[in-house]
């Protein structure tokens, strides 16, 4: 079974600075998808960014980018120019292409605090 | 964008009673809905996957007789917590997959806002 590990329970960043959230995963598959979700205090899950494992190019969405290291099974999220609204819990998720009926496995989350 | 609603947003019930949580896809038809449970500051744990018109598939360790899931239409799935106990208190989140998407595993997963259940 796949596992997703987020080793940083909490992180903090100064407004306008850059922060990187870590995520590693364990899988024997070669094709899969990875996601970062944001869960603000409202508890509404929001998709931040996704990466297809067969793509070597790192995904980017505005201030959010990932560093996908397939061999190392690492998928970190970089948030540039942090804003107060970025404060939330962030979850890394793995989704198999072939097994588990397309279900997602979530990491334990990292709580990000943004300091003004 | 696709919107998923949940009702109620929070509920308090007495131990031994049953409570039903509704999950609706408001502007799209959902072929598959997922039910998650989340404890404070913890991850989302998948409880079950439901497909319209068929029985739900429960994850290992989830009691199907306690957590009844019905996906009677393409826009509505319900989770009923039967004979609730204080340990069932949690945050329950549903998410939906849109009918007619690519069909592959890279589908968009739309989440509801969650329901906070407190059992006294």
A3's enclosing H/E stretch is strand A3-5
The predicted-structure confidence for A42-63, as pLDDT tens digits, reads as follows 999 999 999 999 998 999 999 9
Q: Provide the 3-class DSSP secondary structure of residue B63.
A: coil
- What's the mean pLDDT in A27-38? 92
Across the interface, of A33, A44, A45, the residue whose CB is closest to B106 is A33
- With CA atoms as reference, the chain A residue closest to B5 would be A44
Determine the distance in angstroms separating the CA of A54 from the nearest CA of chain B, rounded to an integer: 12
C-beta atoms surrounding A108 within 10 Å = 17
Determine the distance in angstroms separating the CA of B105 from the nearest CA of chain A, rounded to an integer: 5
Residue B103 pLDDT more than 60?
no
Chain B interface disruption, residue of A9, A52, A102, A111, most B CBs within 10 A: A102
Tokens coding A92: 């890394």
Residue A89 pLDDT more than 60?
yes
């Amino acid at each position: 079974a796949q596992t997703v590990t987020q080793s940083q329970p909490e992180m903090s960043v100064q407004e306008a600075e850059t922060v990187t959230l870590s995520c590693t995963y364990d899988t024997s598959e070669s094709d899969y998808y990875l996601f970062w979700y944001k869960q603000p205090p409202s508890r509404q899950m929001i998709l931040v960014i996704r990466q297809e494992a067969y793509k070597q190019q790192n995904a980017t969405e505005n201030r959010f980018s990932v560093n996908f290291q397939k061999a190392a099974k690492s998928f970190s999220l970089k948030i540039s120019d942090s804003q107060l609204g970025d404060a939330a819990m962030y979850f890394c998720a793995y989704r198999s292409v072939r097994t588990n009926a397309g279900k997602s496995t979530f990491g334990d989350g990292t709580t990000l605090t943004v300091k003004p | 964008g696709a919107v998923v609603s949940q009702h109620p947003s929070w509920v308090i019930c007495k131990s031994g009673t049953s409570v039903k949580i509704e999950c609706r896809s408001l502007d799209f038809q959902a072929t598959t809905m997922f039910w998650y449970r989340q404890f404070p500051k913890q991850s989302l744990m998948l409880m079950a996957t439901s497909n319209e018109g068929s029985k739900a598939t429960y994850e290992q360790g989830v009691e199907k007789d306690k957590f009844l899931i019905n996906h009677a239409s393409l826009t509505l799935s319900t989770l009923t917590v039967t004979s609730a106990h204080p340990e069932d208190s949690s945050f329950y989140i549903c998410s939906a997959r849109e009918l007619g998407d690519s069909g592959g595993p890279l589908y968009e997963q739309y989440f509801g806002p969650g329901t906070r259940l407190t059992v006294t």
